[in-house]
Every structure is written in structure tokens, then in C-alpha cells.
Amino acid sequence: MPATFDLTRLPAFDETSGCWHAVIETPKGSHHKFGFEPDFGCFELKRTLPEGMTFPLDFGFIPSTLGEDGDPLDVLVVMDFPASMGALVKVRLLGAIQAEQKEKDKDWIRNDRLIAVAGKSPTLAEIRSLDDLRPKQLDQLIEFFKQYNKLDGSHFRPVGNANAKEAVALVHKGMKKHRKGK
């Protein structure tokens, strides 16, 4: 079998731009949830959402990080238009939805959702924190993840919000965990 490239091992931070890297797995508006499969070097369809339910923002991960769930840290990216699956987007962190998630017959684990904005978007340049998002947008994101998890019998419980500085600390913690996991 030919060698594959593992997107999860890209650097988390781009020194040149001063932005974080986000790999988009599921574009905004998609009815399908995709996930990167490092063993195969491609994206796999993980599930299809019910009619009328779509991803509210581009959804992906910060490479070279690990969360408590053993996956790279999740990130939602605010952009002018949806990105393509597999796109590498340089982002600025705005904050995070701090949350716990419980899958069927398992314990609660932390599974935060970082929230970022595309660093190359001049129309979004003034968005610097979660407070700069549209009114109720954060509430709607939380409701999306509650319903998304409920569909397969899992639970999503928000426990707070993190500001941009705290989100950066979450990424550094995830980078450290990734380095130890190698």
C-alpha cells in the first residue's frame, strides 16, 4: 500500500502568519459529517444528518493536538463562505465552548469546541472575541451540538465559555498531549 500523508501531523501554528492551522473536515451547510482517517489518508463519511439539519459553520480540527477524547481538538471556523473539505485554513482563535460529552455507556469527558475566524478574511477582521459573533450565534452553536449528539444517543453538556487567551491555552495543552502521545 502506498504511503499516505497524515493531516493530523501538520504543525498547529504558522509562525509566518501568526495564525493557527485548521483542517476543514465538514463544510458549513453540509448534511454530512466527514472525518479525516489518518490510516487511509482520506476523509470518511461518518454520518448523515436528518433533513433540515446542517453544519452551522465549517467544522474541523487543529492538527498536532489531542483532546481528552483521543482526537485532534475540534474547531469551528467563521468564514465568509464555506471552505472545501480538506482545506487548510489559517485562523485566529476567538474562544471556545467548554463542554463535556458522554457517549453511550461511557463516562463524561471534556470535548471543547474551539471557535475561530479565518485569518485571511478582510470582512471578518474586526471579529476578535466570542462577544463579536452575531447575537445568539453561540447559543445556536450549543443547541446544534446538543441535538447532533442526541441523534446517536450521546449527550453534550456546555460547562462554560473560554476567551481567546484561554482557547490558546487549550491548544497548547492539546499540543503537549499530542507530543506525549507519539
The domain ranges of the chain are: 7-176
Q: pTM of the full predicted structure?
A: 0.94
Grid coordinates belonging to 100: 463535556
| Per-residue pLDDT, 5 | 73
From residue 120, give the alpha-carbon distance in Å to each of 7, 11, 17: 21, 18, 10
6 CA to centre of own chain: 17
CATH architecture group of domain 7-176: Alpha-Beta Complex (3.90)
pLDDT tens by residue, 27-55: 999 999 999 998 889 999 999 999 999 99
Q: How confident is the model at residue 6 (pLDDT cuts 50, 70, 90)?
A: confident
1 has a pLDDT exceeding 70: no
Decide if 72 contacts 8 (C-beta within 8 A).
yes
* pLDDT at residue 155 greater than cutoff 80: yes
Mean pLDDT, the chain, integer: 94
Q: Point out which residues pair with 144 in neighbouring strands.
A: none
pLDDT at 182: 59
The 10s digit of each residue's pLDDT in 114-153 is 999 999 899 999 999 999 999 999 999 999 999 999 998 9
